[in-house]
Structure 1
């Protein structure tokens, strides 16, 4: 679980960082070209960047994963669906599945949340 959480967090962190480096106004322009409100680039960018960092640390994993799931559903249905599965939405479906696992199970492996909760019996649950 820890390895899966770290991989998911790193993927979103790097995508968020890429959006920040590109400029959220440009990302907003891309969103507008898909028929989405351009302001959505800001929450999506920050969810990916900050959420990725929090997931790597193992903090608020269930909530961050749920937010990632919403972002992935949006990406699939607005940008990736027409490309088919392979070469289109394959990555997004995998990220959605990983996010759904953490959001539903509430388990995230070893991370700061287990340390901060002081739960000595079960360091795996949030």
Structure 2
């Protein structure tokens, strides 16, 4: 029987994965060149937009299937810190009527940090890929 913490962490991992996957996908569908131009306009290298979109999309998918959850979540923590400090912080927690606040970024950061700390192995591809290593480590 699964423990409550495992089920809870699985729910966070799936919601976080879907959220970031969709955010990354939308960046490409809406014209990544526009996002790159916006990055340039706020003083960030435009090429960084491609990296962010790939991390969001590929990382989101990886979280959904449970591949490298701690590493991916760590990257998401960094993305949310960067987005909050560089873009959202000046607008306030709830926004300023012209742009979104940083409340969602904080929630996503907290979810990602929870997965970094606790990991999420329930229904995860990592269990299949690294099963032998886990058994080997337990026998030492």
Which of the five TM-score ranges fits, normalised by the shorter chain? 0.7 to 0.9
Q: Which residue of 2 aligns with 1:54?
A: 62
Gaps of 5+ in 2: 1-8, 96-100, 135-140
Matched, 1:30 2:38: yes
Q: Which residue of 2 aligns with 1:69?
A: 77
TM-score, length-scaled by structure 1: 0.88
Name the CA shift for 1:81/1:59 in 2 (closer, same or farther; >3 Å).
same
The structure having more radius of gyration, on CA atoms, is 2
Gaps of 5+ in 1: 122-126
Distance in 2, matches of 1:39 and 1:65, equals 22
Aligned-CA RMSD value: 1.8
Give, in angstroms, the shift of residue 111 of structure 1: 1.4
SS of aligned partner of 2:123: coil
TM-score, length-scaled by structure 2: 0.79
How many pairs were matched up?
121
> After the TM superposition, which segments of 4 or more aligned residues of structure 1 sit over 3 Å from their partners?
none
